[in-house]
Structure 1
């Protein structure tokens, strides 16, 4: 009899989990379908930087090359290392989709996959934290449809991907430091996936985690001594998993005068703008949406008697404040905080903590007498109500984005670049026919990020593919291949040839199929001495054996962890014992 009850409970849990997955899959389809059907895209801001990286990966995959290190078909064929120092793992699914779908469809499917993954991760993380399926569904809808996250999904794809894993990071942190240290691997997984997504988000996450640790120590939690072994285990696993991301920084970035996006806080949003955008519920960099704005003012009341909820509320309010000019950023322009460049990036974290509070407040509505009277029908009615309101909120927030692609616009429809070195128009409407034109334009943001410092100062001539022969410039047309550029040159006499390809620590040169010694020119590019005659110059980049070993070690670490979790029984990973929709405490009250 007892065995039958256990089997029945497992069956109920499986069915409920499947229903939740179907709910989120349906929500994702409803979100993406209207945009997908237009078969148009609107490109602006960081779009071209990210899509160029996807295009490079896709072209290399066409040639059977899985690793992309430098840009040879995009970014004006300069050999820039936009792939060495900016993670690319989650761009590969987008690139692989290009083999089966047109580029517009591939993007929208990829966007849908990231959104669906965010739904599931946020749901299961809240489920582990609260043990309430209802609250977890509410949290997932609030977090996924937060106005700032929807804004990121337009073109800020590094942060957009990173937001997917923030709930996992903070759940792992909570388990590691405050609840069940034996679940230390959750933090390892979350941090590793975050590092695979966006390095700057890692820096900001560490800042927030430091606040959490200091708060815990202030409140008397002896975090480090009691959890030292688990912390060490978690850190070791993170190190193994992220080695492929870290090694290029060690071999080619540190002490090599390679530039990145310049630190400094030069642009902020004021508090009134955030209030105005949020109350309008629009997906902008200055908006947290109407619900989270209400939470900002009312959330304290919902969680005033709940220590973790109250801390989440205070942290959410603080992160919202520092994302605006209300915080005195002018006094911190030269501080380590300036590395974040754009303070509104803290809204990703404000969204997370305010969504925790908002989900608690909305869940309290479910616990009122009105829904108790509905009995068995209460969960379904409540969930459908939340989902419906969420979808209305989503279409309200994305109305502007929808307007840009809903109809063909002759004025913004992208045409071939009329002149060289022309910035891509803002915005630019794309479809499968003109998609390729964008790669002949300059990216407004990121075109010369990760140039060596010397090359940054001479970027104009490099981008214009000017080869310097004994100091005289001549236009060349590089031949692209995976991680290599080839140039043809005819010399009437011995010459010093400065090739328009930026040089890194592991750059190599072949001349007429033979390895050739080179110097770094005054403009940070490859410079070689050549005798007269016809020459074929190939400039490429190859990673070290250590890098490929790190890829193998990271892969083995993931395989080992997954195997461990399967053996442990993944259905017990989150320690969910109850079969029903409602949490344990509520059932006890009844």
Structure 2
């Protein structure tokens, strides 16, 4: 029987790997399948991300397929037209909405979504490492080291920062594309474009740091002697990859830039990088089951990298230097106070741990393969690392269940999970001068915004990208302030007549009204920038598919023997 199982696994290795990763992903969420639902408390990333998808679910569940990605939030985030999705891309979160619809329960869909994230992380690392090293053992081991890394577990299961979770999925793809440009077949430059575009559409601040490190890693191309024209071609292809990435993600980047230029000073909390650094030892040694660090498992992997450094070829030695740089950048060893003023866009130095986690897993697996050559010993080692990873995940999960409040989660029923996700009051993208009136915005009251005016509000309703009021005024006013903040694209109609754009010092929309009953409609209309950039991205993607169709089919050699 055992020999028959071995034969089946050997004959269908890639399918077996898929099933193994699927099993791991199910085991990760297993502790949450019993008992109540757990949702992050106010102000935590998990609550923020679930609120982002709640409105999409409400739209899609009513059959409005064209409303999957609303530009402004009228049912969540205070319901006053907050343009969350113009500043933070939603597209990578849509699988959660679909799973919610399939399972018919918000919490069930949420748990399936977490399992999907881990499965995709394992598979992404496995496929890309397999393509680079041509070794199934290295691919399998690197996937275990990567997917079960302390940082990956912390981001997805504790912080539930799902934008960061998707960074782990797209980073191997972007690295594989960069590796091809730098050292192998530079004609595959477009793969890096797909990976980088994916990173941008996950979490832009995280993506900026990761992409900068990828570009820096590209310098490994100079560890190999080649003709100057080939080196120049590689550099040009890197530029091509960057340009295509920008085109593929233009539908998000262009409107974002438009709104940032308009707002100028958003309300997001700005931290001094020097205040976010970690003590050197805390990068590896932590007394927490989840944290911004590589953890003890990361220390073991880095030890193998150091031990196997002499056996690395020059490009991998250069990559190990990049790993060291990333580790230094998250500690107080680096003189961050000097750069606080110039690198504020990084927001906090923990973002460098994404690249550190990836490189340590990739190089660690190669180093271990160079040391352990016996086949049986290799797979015993993989089993050991996977077991340690599952134990780490299970320990964290049971810690959260045992002490919810200490882990910043609230207990609700599975049925109440959906309603709990609607309440999120993080407004990082409000204009700074509008943040002071956020409490008034949440009341949706025109009389509250105009205390000295004799106005009575009789109705307030919301629709897709629109908010509607009905008021009764005892006299005519030229400057009635609405509980809505103006951004490019907002259009106001009073009794069906379009009003000129006008807003006060707090960026609140201002309109004139006549005496008597007035119907006020605040609508968001997609800007020319949104429309044009959307079609730029569509055309770029279609062009890539047409030109690279054969190569796209070779990208995932899932059933190909090596």
Indicate the TM-score class for this superposition, using the shorter chain for normalisation. Answer: 0.7 to 0.9
| 1:282 corresponding residue in structure 2 | 289
| 2:392 corresponding residue in structure 1 | 396
Partner SS, residue 519 of structure 1: coil
For residues 258-317 of structure 1, give each alpha carbon's deviation from its aligned partner in whole angstroms, at most 9, with x where no partner exists.
51534432333222333321xx683322x3132321233442221223123322322222
| 1:138 corresponding residue in structure 2 | 141
Q: 2:337 aligns with which of 299, 324, 330?
A: 330
Structure 1 unaligned spans of 5+: 1-10, 372-377, 413-424, 581-590
Q: How far apart in 1 are the matches of 2:387 and 2:456?
A: 53
Whether the 8 Å contact between 1:511 and 1:538 is mirrored in structure 2 is yes
Partner SS, residue 331 of structure 2: coil
| 1:487 corresponding residue in structure 2 | 469
Q: How far apart in 1 are the matches of 2:533 and 2:113?
A: 27
Q: 1:41 aligns with which of 38, 41, 45?
A: 38
CA gap of 1:134–1:536, structure 2 versus 1, over 3 A, is same
Partner SS, residue 517 of structure 1: coil
Whether the 8 Å contact between 1:324 and 1:344 is mirrored in structure 2 is no
How far off its partner does 1:12 sit? 10
For residues 163-198 of structure 1, give each alpha carbon's deviation from its aligned partner in whole angstroms, at most 9, with x where no partner exists.
211111111111112221111111111111111111
CA gap of 1:297–1:40, structure 2 versus 1, over 3 A, is same
Greater alpha carbon shift after TM alignment, 548-557 vs 112-121:
548-557
CA gap of 1:492–1:218, structure 2 versus 1, over 3 A, is farther
Whether the 8 Å contact between 1:27 and 1:391 is mirrored in structure 2 is no
Q: How far apart in 2 are the matches of 1:145 and 1:399?
A: 13
Q: How far apart in 2 are the matches of 1:577 and 1:439?
A: 40
Q: How far apart in 1 are the matches of 2:34 and 2:362?
A: 34
Q: How far apart in 2 are the matches of 1:169 and 1:76?
A: 36
CA gap of 1:81–1:14, structure 2 versus 1, over 3 A, is farther
Partner SS, residue 554 of structure 1: helix
TM-score normalised by L of structure 1: 0.83
Matched ranges for 1:288-303 at <5 A: 288-303=294-309
CA gap of 1:481–1:383, structure 2 versus 1, over 3 A, is farther
Q: 1:314 aligns with which of 321, 326, 334?
A: 321
* Matched residues, number: 538
Partner SS, residue 84 of structure 2: coil
Q: How far apart in 2 are the matches of 1:319 and 1:404?
A: 30
Matched ranges for 1:397-436 at <5 A: 397-405=393-401, 426-436=408-418
Q: How far apart in 2 are the matches of 1:147 and 1:466?
A: 47
CA gap of 1:564–1:219, structure 2 versus 1, over 3 A, is closer
| 2:170 corresponding residue in structure 1 | 165
| 2:489 corresponding residue in structure 1 | 506
CA gap of 1:479–1:557, structure 2 versus 1, over 3 A, is same
Partner SS, residue 85 of structure 2: coil
Q: How far apart in 2 are the matches of 1:366 and 1:530?
A: 79
Matched ranges for 1:461-500 at <5 A: 461-467=440-446, 468-469=449-450, 471=452, 478-495=460-477, 496-500=479-483
Matched ranges for 1:186-201 at <5 A: 186-201=191-206
Q: How far apart in 1 are the matches of 2:47 and 2:388?
A: 30
| 2:56 corresponding residue in structure 1 | 57
Q: How far apart in 1 are the matches of 2:246 and 2:10?
A: 35
| 1:585 corresponding residue in structure 2 | none
Partner SS, residue 540 of structure 1: strand
Q: How far apart in 2 are the matches of 1:182 and 1:321?
A: 34
Q: 1:18 aligns with which of 15, 18, 21?
A: 15
Q: How far apart in 1 are the matches of 2:318 and 2:473?
A: 70
For residues 305-350 of structure 1, give each alpha carbon's deviation from its aligned partner in whole angstroms, at most 9, with x where no partner exists.
31233223222222122112332322221122x2222211211111
> Considering only aligned residues, what root-mean-square deviation do their CA atoms show, in Å?
3.1
Greater alpha carbon shift after TM alignment, 216-225 vs 431-440:
216-225
CA gap of 1:176–1:96, structure 2 versus 1, over 3 A, is same
| 2:359 corresponding residue in structure 1 | 353
| 1:375 corresponding residue in structure 2 | none
| 1:76 corresponding residue in structure 2 | 78
Q: How far apart in 2 are the matches of 1:13 and 1:182?
A: 33
Whether the 8 Å contact between 2:494 and 2:519 is mirrored in structure 1 is yes
Partner SS, residue 164 of structure 2: helix
| 1:419 corresponding residue in structure 2 | none
Partner SS, residue 276 of structure 1: coil
Whether the 8 Å contact between 2:285 and 2:295 is mirrored in structure 1 is no
Whether the 8 Å contact between 2:302 and 2:364 is mirrored in structure 1 is no
TM-score normalised by L of structure 2: 0.87
How far off its partner does 1:539 sit? 1.1
How far off its partner does 1:228 sit? 4.8
How far off its partner does 1:251 sit? 3.1
Whether the 8 Å contact between 1:453 and 1:524 is mirrored in structure 2 is no
Partner SS, residue 500 of structure 2: coil
How far off its partner does 1:229 sit? 4.8
How far off its partner does 1:366 sit? 3.9
For residues 457-498 of structure 1, give each alpha carbon's deviation from its aligned partner in whole angstroms, at most 9, with x where no partner exists.
433332343432265698977422111111222111112311
CA gap of 1:15–1:575, structure 2 versus 1, over 3 A, is closer
CA gap of 1:95–1:464, structure 2 versus 1, over 3 A, is same
